[in-house]
Amino acid sequence: MIGTTADSASTRRPPGPVDPPVDTPPDGVRSREGLARPLAVANLVCQVGIVVTGGLVRLTGSGLGCPTWPQCVPGSYTPVVEQPEGYHRLVEFGNRLLTLVLTAVAVATLVAVVRLAGRSRDAGSASEGRGRRGLILLGAAPLAGVLAQAVLGGVTVLTSLHPATVAAHFLLSMVIVAGSTVLLLRLRPPTVWDHRPRAEVRLLVAGLAVTTAVVVVLGTVVTGSGPHSGDADEPARFGLDPRAMSWIHADAALLLVGLAIAVTVALRLVGAPESARRRSGDLLAVLLLQALVGYVQYATDLPEVLVAAHMLGASLLVVTVTAVATAVLDPRGASPDHDSPPGHLPSPS
Ligand code: HEM
């Protein structure tokens, strides 16, 4: 067995100053997460949730329910009864209010992470110092992302839901979801490999991550070319053929399915830690479901409920791909002080 989970490895490795118990979070985190971990979970749930509620704004045609920003209507930050937008004003304003919840959770997460890093300061080594700084940066990422989204959301309204800004709004959310996933995983015990995963496996996983990004970007191009590009009364479009774009997007998705299968098989062949293999199984399940939803929505003329499910699927896919990438590419997982057995590269010293 050339890789193992934190749990199983902890039964084989004697604890000590050089080789700490592997179920102990590194970087001085050491079982002192306090509220940081539950808040990181809440943050991730909220970040995925707002993608879906933001999608509902678009799919119910409520994007201009509040025609101005930051005010809802000129002269008022809240909707007013006389507005001609009807119920759309409540849908759009409700989503704006959710941003406040998101901001509160992001602030609380950052505070908890900073406190955690502060409590770990005694640990003292240079690498732990770098780890703490990295952790604080990760803790700040959701808040920075939410603030950027608030501005971008405003630009989206002010550009009358131009498909490029709608797409950018969605893509930034995917970046925040990925960052929030890394933060959460950072607060959990790492996936511990006995040896650095071999280069081919790392390359495959890097290819998987890049291809995921390409598929997601292409998805937003399909949306921007189709009927749900902004769902204003007369939505602007990219002017591309939605059918052709759908097929390019679907072809890239098929490549992604092939890569995900290859990664799943490769992780089993090299005896990767159980947690890495479990994550790749989750990824494959989410991806296959997402592809199925994609084909069905295409074949059924894009019913709103399936489009919303496809947006949720894209977010969950980003979570699972990030989890696999973290398990394989995160250098914290590789132990540098073992010889490489066949099939593994030596770790860099
Ligand atoms: C399996 C991996 C896939 C991923 C990660 C993915 C992701 C995405 C994303 C992110 C969007 C844009 C959502 C938005 O801007 O609101 C999108 C849109 C779309 N996708 Fe996929 N997709 C996948 C597979 C497929 C497949 C196999 C098809 C089949 C044709 C498909 C058909 C579509 C269509 C038609 C849209 C436009 C929906 C709309 O008008 O809003 N997707 N996809």
Work out the average pLDDT over 288-312.
96
> Do 202 and 103 fall into the same domain?
no
Query: 199-225 vs 242-269: helix axis angle to the nearest 10?
Result: 160
> Do 332 and 276 fall into the same domain?
yes
> According to the model, what pLDDT value does residue 9 have?
38
> According to the model, what pLDDT value does residue 252 have?
98
Work out the average pLDDT over 129-143.
89
- CA 191 → CA 81, 129, 208, 256, distances in Å? 54, 21, 19, 24
Residue 19 is encoded by which pair of tokens?
């080789």
- How many CA atoms does the CB half-sphere of 34 hold within 13 Å? 15
> Do 278 and 157 fall into the same domain?
no
> Do 233 and 293 fall into the same domain?
yes
What is the Cα–Cα distance from 33 to 166, expressed in whole angstroms? 36
CA of 219 to the centre of ligand 1 (A): 4
Higher pLDDT pick, 227 / 120: 227
What is the Cα–Cα distance from 315 to 323, expressed in whole angstroms? 13
Mean pLDDT of the chain: 84
Note the maximum CA span of the chain.
74
Q: Decide whether any atom of ligand 1 lies within 6 Å of the 250 Cβ.
A: yes
- Choose the final residue of a domain: 133, 166, 189: 189
Q: Whose CA is nearest to atom 11 of ligand 1?
A: 219
Number of structural domains in the chain: 2
Work out the average pLDDT over 161-171.
93
Q: Decide whether any atom of ligand 1 lies within 6 Å of the 5 Cβ.
A: no
Annotate 257-275 with DSSP letters as a single string: HHHHHHHHHHHHHTT--HH
What is the Cα–Cα distance from 335 to 274, expressed in whole angstroms? 16
Q: Decide whether any atom of ligand 1 lies within 6 Å of the 67 Cβ.
A: no
Consecutive H or E run containing 224: helix 199-225
pLDDT band at 24 (very low <50, low <70, confident <90, very high): very low
What is the Cα–Cα distance from 52 to 311, expressed in whole angstroms? 7
Q: Decide whether any atom of ligand 1 lies within 6 Å of the 181 Cβ.
A: no
Q: Decide whether any atom of ligand 1 lies within 6 Å of the 195 Cβ.
A: no
CA of 98 to the centre of ligand 1 (A): 25
Higher pLDDT pick, 194 / 262: 262
CA of 217 to the centre of ligand 1 (A): 9
What is the Cα–Cα distance from 196 to 334, expressed in whole angstroms? 5
> According to the model, what pLDDT value does residue 129 have?
67
Within a domain: residue 140? yes
> Do 112 and 130 fall into the same domain?
yes
pLDDT-wise least confident of 5-14, 81-90, 94-103, 268-277: 5-14
- How much of the chain exceeds pLDDT 90, in percent? 60
Within a domain: residue 14? no
pLDDT digits (tens, 9 = 90+) for 223-262: 999 888 776 566 668 889 999 999 999 999 999 999 999 9
Q: Whose CA is nearest to atom 10 of ligand 1?
A: 216
Within a domain: residue 305? yes
Indicate if the alpha-carbon torsion angle 56, 58, 59, 60 is positive or negative.
positive
> Do 183 and 199 fall into the same domain?
no
Residue 87 is encoded by which pair of tokens?
């119920």
> According to the model, what pLDDT value does residue 111 have?
96
> What residue type is 344 in one-letter code?
H
Q: Decide whether any atom of ligand 1 lies within 6 Å of the 216 Cβ.
A: yes
Q: Decide whether any atom of ligand 1 lies within 6 Å of the 215 Cβ.
A: yes
- Choose the final residue of a domain: 169, 189, 209: 189
> Do 70 and 204 fall into the same domain?
no
Q: Decide whether any atom of ligand 1 lies within 6 Å of the 294 Cβ.
A: yes
> According to the model, what pLDDT value does residue 153 have?
85
- How much of the chain exceeds pLDDT 70, in percent? 80
Q: Decide whether any atom of ligand 1 lies within 6 Å of the 266 Cβ.
A: no
> Do 259 and 147 fall into the same domain?
no
pLDDT band at 32 (very low <50, low <70, confident <90, very high): low
- Is it the case that residue 20 has pLDDT exceeding 80? no
Within a domain: residue 12? no
Ligand 1 test: best mutation among 172, 214, 222, most atoms within 8 Å of CB? 222
Within a domain: residue 44? yes
* Residue 112: domain span: 25-189
Which residues, in sequence order, are CB contacts of 322 under 8 Å at separation 6+? 177, 178, 181, 182, 185, 209
Cβ distance 177 to 51 under 8 Å?
A: yes
What is the Cα–Cα distance from 294 to 203, expressed in whole angstroms? 27
CB-neighbour burial class of residue 107 (10 A; exposed 0-12, middle 13-18, buried 19+): middle
> According to the model, what pLDDT value does residue 296 have?
98
Q: Decide whether any atom of ligand 1 lies within 6 Å of the 146 Cβ.
A: no
> According to the model, what pLDDT value does residue 295 have?
98
pLDDT-wise least confident of 3-7, 54-58, 332-336: 3-7
What is the Cα–Cα distance from 280 to 274, expressed in whole angstroms? 10
> According to the model, what pLDDT value does residue 161 have?
84
> Do 199 and 139 fall into the same domain?
no
Q: Where are the beta strands (DSSP E) in 204-263?
A: none
CA of 238 to the centre of ligand 1 (A): 16
Within a domain: residue 19? no
> According to the model, what pLDDT value does residue 126 have?
55
> According to the model, what pLDDT value does residue 33 have?
66
> Do 60 and 34 fall into the same domain?
yes
Work out the average pLDDT over 167-187.
97
> According to the model, what pLDDT value does residue 12 have?
41
> Do 198 and 153 fall into the same domain?
no
Higher pLDDT pick, 291 / 195: 291
- Is it the case that residue 17 has pLDDT exceeding 50? no
CATH code where residue 283 lies: 1.20.120
Q: Whose CA is nearest to atom 26 of ligand 1?
A: 294
Within a domain: residue 1? no
- Is it the case that residue 190 has pLDDT exceeding 90? no
> According to the model, what pLDDT value does residue 22 have?
39
pLDDT-wise least confident of 37-51, 63-77, 109-123, 203-217: 109-123
Work out the average pLDDT over 195-203.
92
- Choose the final residue of a domain: 189, 218, 249: 189
> Do 105 and 144 fall into the same domain?
yes
Within a domain: residue 5? no
Work out the average pLDDT over 4-31.
40
- Is it the case that residue 107 has pLDDT exceeding 70? yes
